[in-house]
Structure formats: structure tokens, C-alpha cells
Amino acid sequence: MSDSKTSIGEVELRERVRALLAQAHPDRVDRVTFRRAQYDHGLAWVQFPEGYGGLGLSPGLQAIVDDEIARHAKTIYWNLAINAIGIGMGAPTVMTYAAEHYKQQLLPRIFTGEDIWCQLFSEPSAGSDVAGLATRAVRDGDDWIVNGQKVWASIAHKSSWAMLLARTDPDKPKHDGLSYFLLDMKSPGVDVRPLYQITGDAEFNEVFLNDVRIPGDRILGKEGMGWRVAITTLMNERVALGGSSRPGHGLSEKLLNLWREEGPRGPRGADGRTQAEIAILRDAVVRLHIESELLGITNQRTKSAMRAGNPGPEGSVAKLVQAELNKKITELGLEVIGSDALVYETGYPLRRGEDFPARTRRENAKHDFLRARANSIEGGTSEVMRNILAERMLGLPGEPRVDKDVAWKDVPRG
């Protein structure tokens, strides 16, 4: 952040937001018009350079922009709801590595949500060890021909573009043989199928790639540089997953409401539970509530540290805490409900995640309990997060790598 401009302070930034709102107000124009104007004012990603939706400022100042818009508008667009992967991960990757004409073409449409983006990294045989992936890209003239299977691709069925990681050289060690492509999801040979989870919902997809042709100028970075580009994407993923909860509105909010409405001291009564049992359960609720509050405070500390330009370990801690805590909170939710936790009222009809009907508080609690199992797997398992914390933050040595200097094709897989 040392190269960031410090010439624009908070006051000028707020003035700039008001100038945007004078020109295009979200309560009066449609989403695409407003978001395009926000982009043109350099208020989409303030850390990006001027002309690319930014102003060359410290990323922590984006919060000022969001705050100022929220003060003056009723219609608030959430990046996470519009195009989480595109805005949070695609854009920084495009900004850093794409050719100029792709930046101009793609960045504004990512921000407006005209183009939804997805990520095609994980494969059935490459989870935590994503750099071991097997999808092959083979040169054909100026183009590349891609074959393989990707998995855990959220919103791939709605996406216009994908960030695709594929192997271009199987004779090199795994990290060195990868390349990073921009894939037009409408290309022939791209087959997207729903992947049903333990909830019965399909939030994710399997994506089959059969002789998919990609023009040569859609490599980000250079051939063989794919891992470096992917790191940019993945670092932004962890920021996006860990950092949303605030004190008083954290993970435990639902648990407290569940306790009040459905718990042994709520209107449904004790369900035969003794005062001692209730006291034990209540203590567990408060304990998790406290941890949830501390997660929210930790996120605020991350923001304070980012504003001051000294990000510490707080941000990396948040993803791990959020995952583990949400599992514990939702597990306890079923205990709060009591014997009726045996019933799963909605059943398990297999359907797209966005298609489920409105559910009652208890039905939600049961669904949340199942959905939370993925929290410590998606976006980096808790085990991987612990490795990162220990190795990058504490400086502990890595595990010896048996696949480090071996050609990818010679590494055992399964």
C-alpha cells in the first residue's frame, strides 16, 4: 500500500460519493446505470487505478464509500449478492493480469453484475491440493483445447465467465505446469450440471469441459504462470469469506433468536427439560455468543489495521474462526430445539439452492446445521487455514513436500 495515493482523504472521498449520487442515485436509476456510474467515478474498487473503477487509494477506504452511499440511499446493492466471485476475486485478478482490452471490456460489467463470474479450480482429484489438478489444456494453433472435470463451482449455471485453471505442461512439477484462462461459459463443450449437497440443495455445480476451445489471448499472465495468478484469486477469496460479521449482528444472532422463540424458556416451553439441563444449555449458548461477538470485533480490528496500513493476522484468523464457530453454533441450535430435532420438516427434495421456499425458524435451524458442515471445507479447509496461519503468521516450517521436484505426471493421485 506504500504506492497508494494519500492525496484524497476521507472528506474528499465522501464529497466524491455525493457527486456520484447527484448524477446517478440508486433510488432513482436502475442497478446497471447506478453501478456503471459508480465505476466511472472510481468508487467501485477504490484501490484500483483511475480509469479502472478505482482511485488508487488504500482498500480500507472502500468502507467510507459504502458508508456514504448507505447514508443517502435506501437501495443498497451488496457485492456479495450481485456477483460475489466476480467482484471479490475475478476483478482483482483481471486488474492484475489481463490484457488492457479485457480490463476495459470486463471490469465494468463485473461490477454492474451484467456478467456473473464463477471459478473453475477444484476437481474431484484436486481439493486442498488444487495445484495437482488434472484438467488439460493443449495448444491448437493460437488457441487452446481444454478437457477435464471441475467441481464445487458455485453459480456456474448463471455465469458468463469463468476463471479456469488448467494444466498446460504435465512434464513440469505441479505448480509450474499450470495456466490460468478466462473461459466464456457459452463456449461449445461446456456442460454445467447441478451438484446436490447433504441438504438436498444444489448451490454448486459440476462442470464438464469437452474439447472446449479458448482463444490464446485469454491466458492471464503467461503460459505456466497459472499458479501465481491463482494465488491472487485465492487470497481475495479468504478476505471475502471471513470478514462480514459485526458485533451484535454476528453468527450467534440466529441462535439467540432460536433460544428465545423455540428454546426451553420460550413460548413452546421446556419440553420436559429440567432447570439444570436448561442452565447447562444456556451457558453453552452464551459461550458461543461471546465467541461470535469476538469474531465481529476481530473483523473491526482488521478494518482498523487496514485503514492504518498494517494488516496483521486478524484477517486470516477470521475465516478459520467463522467456519468452526458456525458449525458449533448450528449444532447447538438443534440441541436448543430439543427432541423435535429428530424431525426434518421440509424433507430433502433435490433442487437448486436458490429455489427453496420460505422456511420457518426451526426449519432454517436444521438446514443451517447441515449446510454449516461445509464451512470448514469451502474456501480452504480449516486444516489448510491452520497451515497458513502457522507457516505465514508464526513462521513455522512447512511439511516436507514429496511432490515438489517431481513431474506432475509422475505424482501418485487418487
Partner 1 sequence: MDFGFSDEHEELRRTIRQFLAAESGEQAVRAAMATERGHDPKLWQRMAQELGLAGLVVPESYGGAGMGPIEALIAFEEMGRALACAPALASHFAASVILSVAGEADREALLPGIAAGTSIATVAHVDAAGRWDLSDVSNEARREGTGWRLDGDWRYVLEGHVADRLLLVARVPDGLGLFLVEGETAGLTRKALPGLDLTRRLADLHCSGVAAKRIGEGDARSGLERALLLTIAALVAEQTGGAARCLEIATDYAKTRYQFGRPIGSFQAIKHHCADLLVSVELMKSAAYQASFVAATGEGDLETAVRQAKSYCSEAYFAVAAENIQIHGGMGFTWEHPAHLYLKRAKSSEVLFGSPAQHRERIGERLGL
Active site residues: 237
CB of 61 to partner 1, least distance (A): 14
Which three three-digit cell numbers place residue 402?
Answer: 514429496
Instruction: State the Cα–Cα distance between residues 348 and 184, nearest whole angstrom.
Output: 33
**Neighbour-count burial of 351, counting CB atoms closer than 10 A to its CB (0-12 exposed, 13-18 middle, 19+ buried):** middle
Instruction: Please answer whether residues 50 and 103 qualify as being in contact, where contact means their C-beta atoms are separated by less than 8 angstroms.
Output: no
Considering the rule CB under 8 A, would residue 301 count as an interface residue with partner 1? yes
Instruction: Please answer whether residues 118 and 154 qualify as being in contact, where contact means their C-beta atoms are separated by less than 8 angstroms.
Output: yes
| 246 φ/ψ angles, rounded to the nearest 5 degrees | -120, 155
Q: How far is CA 276 from the centre of its chain?
A: 41
Considering the rule CB under 8 A, would residue 308 count as an interface residue with partner 1? yes
Binding test (CB under 8 A) with partner 1, winner from 24, 195, 294, 411: 294
Q: Which is nearer to partner 1, 164 or 285 (CB)?
A: 285
Tally the residues of the chain. 414
Instruction: State the Cα–Cα distance between residues 304 and 306, nearest whole angstrom.
Output: 5
- Contact segment (CB under 8 A) with partner 1 among 67-75, 117-125, 295-303, 357-365 equals 295-303
Which three three-digit cell numbers place residue 65?
Answer: 464509500
Q: Which is nearer to partner 1, 27 or 283 (CB)?
A: 283
Q: Which is nearer to partner 1, 71 or 265 (CB)?
A: 265
Considering the rule CB under 8 A, would residue 63 count as an interface residue with partner 1? no
CB of 335 to partner 1, least distance (A): 14
Instruction: State the Cα–Cα distance between residues 293 and 134, nearest whole angstrom.
Output: 42
Q: Which is nearer to partner 1, 221 or 333 (CB)?
A: 333
Name residues contacting partner 1, limited to 236-275 (CB under 8 A). 247, 256, 259-260, 265
Q: Which is nearer to partner 1, 229 or 256 (CB)?
A: 256
Instruction: Please answer whether residues 375 and 242 qualify as being in contact, where contact means their C-beta atoms are separated by less than 8 angstroms.
Output: no
Binding test (CB under 8 A) with partner 1, winner from 291, 328, 338, 380: 291
Binding test (CB under 8 A) with partner 1, winner from 33, 300, 364, 381: 300
Instruction: State the Cα–Cα distance between residues 308 and 58, nearest whole angstrom.
Output: 9
Interface residues with partner 1 (CB under 8 A) are 247, 256, 259-260, 265, 282-283, 285-287, 289-291, 293-295, 297-298, 300-301, 304-305, 307-308, 313-314, 317, 320-321, 383, 385-387, 389-391, 393-400
